[in-house]
């Protein structure tokens, strides 16, 4: 029998909203898949596209960038800066052949523990259906 | 003291890097008395057997240009590594894949189909594509194996120094040769013949803090020759590219395409340029941002024009 594929997701979560939302999900004992590895950043505006590419190239099956809803950014507009980059990044990842579902930008406020759990849940399921990204393994077959 | 032995080699590239050396002109003649050139396909007739018969570490410095796209390129890379004391990745292709690495957006099969079958001018009724071996009455013929993925020189052998540029500009080549001949060698892995600041530092165009609401491609406009091209909506790789070339493309009113590669401590040039471009977008709503992002026609070809093989993802998924 084939073992169930467990996606590895890296989450870059802003400390003011999404990370606090994730904390709330935890303290409220909301159940959600353990597939996400959250990394706290001060603002999604700090999430250089290099970080996303590096995560994917190093073996992640997906990346979640979680920030404050537009208008709520602790630093006024860091999340909008991220949105500008994200649209470009999405188009570029599409050209690389990486499915849209693997890299998501989601707005989660500090009070939305439930929403955070549902985002992680849906993302995990979508990626599970897509299967592993396996970028590292592909690298090995470069000469073929 | 005998004069240092220098070799140049040409792998998967257009040959422009070797022409760039020829552009040194009369200075090359002066240099000729100081060095002994032992291998140089573009100008002198040496055979691979000459190279193979040399003892190991016989060549003092090899300037290796071109990416690694087939088994011959790789074989020569290994041969030059064994025969040379110093191996220099010379030019954008050897350093980061260069234009040939854009082949990494396709598979070997797609490239063969396009080159040998689908191009309108192709006349190939038997659908023949290159085979590495072919038997003829006189015996077996072989050609190098074409790789699925283009690699940089340092992805196949150990490299001592890098000289960026497509091609490296003449004045910088002179400096690099001077540095190496002086014997005062920089630390291994150094980027020679370039600056540590972005191209924008040497670009003379006027920069304000203007944002853009529309991107234009170079053929669609004649830019104002005094103002920053990025602020005129033309994608210019300057902010994410190492300087040192003297901004010669900008002098010709043409945007930088990034051939000098990433800045120091930058892992991925394309990711940095993507960020820089997004930062000049004059758009707040998701809809407007999407429109601007969608107007970048070929993101990989724009952000990784010369650096796909050296990027984090290196190639597209098949």
Of the candidate ranges B38-47, B53-62, B232-241, B290-299, the one whose mean pLDDT is the lowest: B38-47
Element (H, E) at B315: none
The reply to whether A8 touches chain B by the CB within 8 Å rule is no
CATH architecture of B5-99+149-182: 3-Layer(aba) Sandwich (3.40)
Query: Helical H runs in B189-255?
Result: 248-251
Residue the block writes with tokens 């995990």: A124
pLDDT tens digits, one per residue of B219-252: 999 999 999 999 999 999 999 999 999 999 999 9
- Nearest CB neighbour to B267, from listed A54, A80, A81: A54
pTM, two decimals, is: 0.93
Write out residues 28-57 of A within 8 Å (CB-CB) of B: 48-50, 52-54, 56-57
Q: Do A80 and B272 touch (CB under 8 A)?
A: no
Rg (CA), chain B: 22
How far apart are alpha carbons B166 and B259 in whole angstroms?
6
Tell me the average pLDDT across B165-175.
93
Element (H, E) at A14: strand A9-14
The pLDDT of residue A144: 42
- Nearest CB neighbour to B293, from listed A88, A138, A141: A88
In chain B, which residue's Cα lies nearest the Cα of A57?
A: B313
Of the candidate ranges A32-36, A87-91, B23-27, B117-121, the one whose mean pLDDT is the lowest: B23-27
The pLDDT of residue A17: 97
Based on the number of CB atoms within 10 Å of its own CB, is B133 exposed (0-12), middle (13-18) or buried (19 or more)? exposed
The pLDDT of residue A122: 98
pLDDT higher than 50, residue A143: no
Q: Which band of pLDDT confidence, cut at 50, 70 and 90, is reported for residue A141?
A: low
* Residues of chain A contacting residue B313, judged by C-beta atoms under 8 Å apart: 53, 56-57, 96, 135
Q: Has domain A9-140 been given CATH number 3.30.1330?
A: no
Cα–Cα nearest to B285, from A74, A80, A67, A78: A80
Percent of chain A at pLDDT > 90 equals 90
Query: Helical H runs in chain B?
Result: 16-22, 26-32, 48-52, 71-83, 92-96, 108-113, 170-182, 248-251, 269-278, 286-294, 299-303
Tell me the average pLDDT across A2-27.
94
* Residues of chain B contacting residue A143, judged by C-beta atoms under 8 Å apart: 147-149
pLDDT tens digits, one per residue of B72-98: 999 999 999 999 999 999 999 999 999
- Nearest CB neighbour to A85, from listed B275, B290, B300: B275
CB A82 within 8 A of CB A67: yes
How far apart are alpha carbons B94 and B309 in whole angstroms?
10
pLDDT tens digits, one per residue of B1-10: 578 999 999 9
Residue the block writes with tokens 């082949």: B103
- Nearest CB neighbour to B312, from listed A53, A83, A87: A53
How far apart are alpha carbons B23 and B170 in whole angstroms?
7
- Domain residue limits, chain B: 5-99+149-182, 106-147, 199-310
The pLDDT of residue B146: 94
Size of interface A-B (CB pairs under 8 A): 97
Residues belonging to chain B with any Cβ–Cβ distance to chain A shorter than 8 Å: 105, 108, 147-149, 151, 266-268, 270-272, 274-275, 277-279, 281, 283-284, 286, 289-290, 292-294, 296, 298-300, 303, 311-318
Percent of chain B at pLDDT > 70 equals 100
Helices (H) and strands (E) in chain B, counts: 11, 9
The pLDDT of residue B250: 95
* Residues of chain B contacting residue A96, judged by C-beta atoms under 8 Å apart: 300, 313, 316-317
- Domain residue limits, chain A: 9-140
pLDDT tens digits, one per residue of B31-51: 878 889 999 988 888 999 999
* Residues of chain B contacting residue A90, judged by C-beta atoms under 8 Å apart: 293
User: What's the gap in Å between the CA of A4 and the closest CA on chain B?
Assistant: 23
Based on the number of CB atoms within 10 Å of its own CB, is B75 exposed (0-12), middle (13-18) or buried (19 or more)? middle
pLDDT tens digits, one per residue of A112-138: 999 999 999 999 999 999 999 988 766
DSSP-based three-state secondary structure for B161: strand
Q: From the candidates B278, B287, B311, B316, which should be mutated to test the interface with A, based on the most A CB atoms within 10 A?
A: B278
């Amino acid at each position: 029998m084939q073992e169930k594929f467990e996606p590895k997701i890296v989450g870059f979560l802003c400390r003011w909203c999404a990370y606090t939302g994730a904390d709330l999900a935890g303290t409220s004992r909301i159940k959600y898949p353990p597939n996400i590895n959250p990394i706290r950043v001060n603002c999604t505006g700090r999430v250089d596209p290099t970080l996303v590419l590096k995560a994917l190239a190093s073996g992640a099956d997906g990346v979640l960038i979680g920030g404050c809803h537009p208008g709520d950014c602790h630093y006024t507009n860091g999340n909008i800066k991220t949105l500008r980059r994200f649209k470009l990044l999405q188009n570029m990842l599409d050209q690389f052949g990486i499915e849209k579902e693997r890299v998501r930008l989601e707005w989660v406020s500090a009070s939305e523990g439930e929403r955070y759990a549902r985002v992680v849940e849906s993302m995990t399921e979508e990626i599970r259906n897509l299967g592993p990204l396996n970028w590292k393994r592909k690298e090995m077959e470069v000469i073929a | 003291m005998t004069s240092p032995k220098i070799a140049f080699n040409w792998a998967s590239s257009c040959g422009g890097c070797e022409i760039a050396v020829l552009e040194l002109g009369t200075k090359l003649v002066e240099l000729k008395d100081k060095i002994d050139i032992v291998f140089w396909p573009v100008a002198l007739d040496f055979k691979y057997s000459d190279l193979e018969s040399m003892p190991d570490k016989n060549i003092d410095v090899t300037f290796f240009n071109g990416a690694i796209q087939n088994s011959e390129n790789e074989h020569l890379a290994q041969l030059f590594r064994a025969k040379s004391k110093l191996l220099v990745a010379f030019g954008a292709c050897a350093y980061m894949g260069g234009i040939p690495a854009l082949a990494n957006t396709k598979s070997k099969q797609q490239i063969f189909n396009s080159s040998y079958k689908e191009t309108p001018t192709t006349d190939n009724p038997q659908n023949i594509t290159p085979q590495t071996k072919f038997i003829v009455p006189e015996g077996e013929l072989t050609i190098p194996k074409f790789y699925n993925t283009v690699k940089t020189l340092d992805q196949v052998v150990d490299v001592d120094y890098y000289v960026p540029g497509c091609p490296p500009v003449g004045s910088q080549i002179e400096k690099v040769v001077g540095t190496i001949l002086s014997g005062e060698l920089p630390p291994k892995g150094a980027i020679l013949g370039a600056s540590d600041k972005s191209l924008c530092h040497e670009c003379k165009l006027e920069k304000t803090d203007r944002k853009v609401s529309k991107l234009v491609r170079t053929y669609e406009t004649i830019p104002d020759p005094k103002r920053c091209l990025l602020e005129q909506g033309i994608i210019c790789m300057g902010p994410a590219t190492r300087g040192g070339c003297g901004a010669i493309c900008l002098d010709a009113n043409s945007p930088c395409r990034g051939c000098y590669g990433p800045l120091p401590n930058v892992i991925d040039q394309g990711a940095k340029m993507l960020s820089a471009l997004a930062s000049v977008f004059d758009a707040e709503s998701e809809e407007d941002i999407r429109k601007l992002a969608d107007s970048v026609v070929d993101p990989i070809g724009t952000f990784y024009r010369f650096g796909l093989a050296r990027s984090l993802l290196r190639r597209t998924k098949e």
